[in-house]
Structure 1
Amino acid sequence: MSKLKLFVQSLIQEIKYKITWPPYGKLQSNALLVLVASFIFALFIGLMDLSLREAFIWFYNAF
Structure 2
Amino acid sequence: MKKIYKNMAQCKKCGDIIESKKRVGVVRCSCKSIGVEGGHYYIKRSGNKEDIIELTEYEEI
Normalised-by-shorter TM-score class: under 0.3
Instruction: Report the structure, 1 or 2, having the larger strand content.
Output: 2
Instruction: Report the structure, 1 or 2, having the larger helix content.
Output: 1
Question: Which of structures 1 and 2 has the bigger CA Rg?
Answer: 1
Tell me: higher relative CO, structure 1 or 2? Use CA pairs within 8 A at least 6 residues apart.
2
What TM-score comes out, normalization by structure 1 length?
A: 0.18
